[in-house]
């Protein structure tokens, strides 16, 4: 630990209004959607103002301001006594440059904190109260602890359907809203929980090649080894300024981008930073998160995929229908046309689990490669067909055949390549994907039929291996439900880039491989709507 020299004990200047002035320093720490300020314990401002660690401070410069959580340090290499440090995201958000003079003061408590306390007590909140809470979250007025309290309160005290609508509306209000000035703007979304389910990356180029407007903005993974944005990032840039996103969509009728940089439902991106480590994804929060993003992105028509299976997020048809009704109620209130499809969630879709492996599968389907996973192809075609049937010039029932023709003819591949080039190609070669240098195999302990997959466990193994943060980590499956397997055959391979990640994944696979072997009659049946 560095000692503080007498030279570093520079008294802070004072503004006429009494606010302390400090020179600004950029601290290269990624705090993931949380604004953090760093102040040395021996800084005279820290002592004079009575700041406490983890308290909220207001940092201002030239009429701009941000709120940040204060971290107190004792190491000059992080920040000296004469300076105030800001984390990477906070520094960018303030729009300052290194060495600027800023003022720092105690932050006022969020006005909505009373509403939060009422929700913690199990009370029902109205639109104005949700709007106040969400606005404070979007403006980083809540600490991580307060956000966690809100997430847990809305998870434990399940929101009624009108509260879910209020939360959705509040999330839309807190951010930007795109208007494409077209009567039909389509999108497709899945509630998640099924590894490898990258149908959006196929549906978007298919419907765009048909001529439909499909500005696809996606979140990063919350509890899964990859989200659409994580996988698309293997192929192209996904963090696009809203002006660039608008230009790409106008020219190519589609995009596949991360929604965060477009400032669409920004409170949701902040809440996800809390939901991810807690692995929480309650129905009310799920509906508000998904529909707020779609409405903010300017969508008029959405096809929603709800997979059902023994280890999916939704386990029974009764639960699926209850969730469908909640989505339909909120979508109707938001004036969004919604087509809910209940699909097969018994097993992962495609062969790969993890960004690079899933990108490989997507490109193989687009290129009509014989190695392409047929389940991914068929599901994407059916979902694309449902969207195409929103076109008033298409007869009901004709969508699948139109989607198949677009894929088989190569028009979908051409459209995807246009989107990749427009967003900034990463030069990904799906024929020679660069997977993690470390790997191990999980083999069948006996002969039999693949009778079940534990989606949660396989996703967990892929996450232990490093996905989605490590793009080339993940699980590569070799079999599907109902396939015959001989003793000793490889069920799947796990790839990682770091030995610690590989060992975590190995230990997880030893506790449970996530693959069950049995008889053909043991394969679970599921009712779907395709």
Q: Could you list the active site residues?
A: 281
Structure tokens at 474: 């993940």
Give buried/exposed letters for 104-124 (b at 16+ CB in 10 A, else e): bbebeebebbebbeebeeeee
d(CA 190, CA 379): 12
d(CA 366, CA 407): 7
d(CA 202, CA 372): 12
Name the residue with tokens 């996530």: 514
d(CA 277, CA 383): 31
d(CA 455, CA 275): 19
Residue 376: partners with Cβ closer than 8 Å, 6 or more residues away:
196, 197, 198, 199, 202, 349, 350, 361, 362, 365
CB atoms within 10 A of CB 489: 14
Give which of 57, 324, 348 is closest to 199, Cα–Cα: 348
Give which of 410, 358, 365 is closest to 383, Cα–Cα: 365
């Amino acid at each position: 630990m560095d000692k503080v020299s007498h030279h570093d004990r520079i008294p802070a200047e004072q503004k006429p209004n009494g606010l302390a002035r400090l020179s600004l320093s950029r601290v290269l720490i990624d705090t993931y959607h949380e604004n953090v300020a760093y102040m040395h314990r021996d800084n005279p401002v820290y002592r004079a103002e009575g700041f406490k660690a983890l308290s909220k401070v207001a940092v201002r410069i030239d009429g701009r301001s941000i709120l940040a959580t204060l971290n107190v340090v004792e190491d000059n290499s992080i920040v000296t006594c004469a300076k105030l440090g800001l984390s990477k995201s906070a520094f960018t958000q303030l729009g300052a440059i290194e060495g600027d003079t800023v003022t720092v003061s105690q932050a006022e408590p969020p006005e909505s904190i009373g509403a939060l306390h009422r929700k913690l007590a199990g009370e029902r909140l109205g639109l104005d109260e949700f709007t106040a809470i969400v606005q404070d979250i979007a403006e980083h007025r809540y600490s991580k602890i307060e956000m966690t309290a809100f997430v847990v309160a809305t998870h434990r005290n399940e929101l009624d359907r009108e509260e879910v609508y209020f939360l959705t509306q509040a999330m839309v209000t807190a951010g930007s809203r795109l208007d494409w000035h077209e009567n039909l703007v389509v999108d497709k979304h899945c509630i998640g929980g099924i590894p490898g389910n990258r149908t959006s990356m196929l549906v978007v180029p298919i419907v765009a090649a048909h001529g439909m407007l499909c500005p696809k903005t996606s979140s990063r993974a919350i509890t899964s080894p990859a989200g659409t944005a994580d996988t698309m990032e293997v192929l192209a840039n996904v963090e696009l300024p809203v002006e660039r996103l608008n230009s790409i969509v106008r020219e190519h009728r589609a995009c596949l981008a991360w929604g965060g940089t477009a400032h669409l439902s920004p409170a949701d991106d902040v809440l996800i930073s809390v939901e991810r480590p807690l692995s929480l994804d309650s129905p009310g929060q799920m509906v508000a998160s998904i529909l707020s993003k779609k409405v903010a992105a300017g969508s008029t028509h959405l096809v929603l995929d709800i997979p059902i299976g023994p280890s999916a997020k939704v386990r029974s048809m009764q639960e699926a229908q209850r969730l469908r009704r909640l989505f339909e109620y909120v979508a109707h209130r938001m004036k969004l046309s919604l087509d809910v499809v209940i699909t097969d969630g018994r097993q992962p879709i495609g062969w790969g689990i993890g960004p690079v492996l899933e990108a490989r599968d997507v490109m193989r389907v687009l290129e009509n490669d014989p190695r392409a996973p047929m389940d991914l192809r068929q599901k994407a075609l059916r979902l694309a067909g449902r969207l195409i049937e929103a076109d008033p010039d298409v007869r009901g029932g004709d969508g699948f055949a139109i989607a198949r023709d677009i894929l088989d003819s190569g028009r979908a591949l051409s459209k995807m390549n246009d989107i990749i080039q427009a967003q900034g190609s990463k030069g990904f070669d799906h024929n020679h994907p660069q997977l993690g240098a470390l790997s191990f195999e999980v083999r069948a302990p006996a002969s039999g039929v693949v009778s079940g997959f534990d989606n949660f466990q396989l996703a967990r193994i892929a996450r232990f291996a490093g996905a989605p943060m490590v793009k080339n980590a993940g699980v590569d499956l070799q079999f599907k439900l109902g396939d015959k397997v001989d003793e000793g055959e490889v069920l799947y391979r796990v790839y990682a880039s770091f030995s610690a990640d590989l060992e975590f994944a190995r230990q997880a696979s030893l506790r449970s491989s996530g693959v069950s072997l049995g008889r053909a009659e043991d394969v679970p049946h599921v009712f779907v709507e395709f």
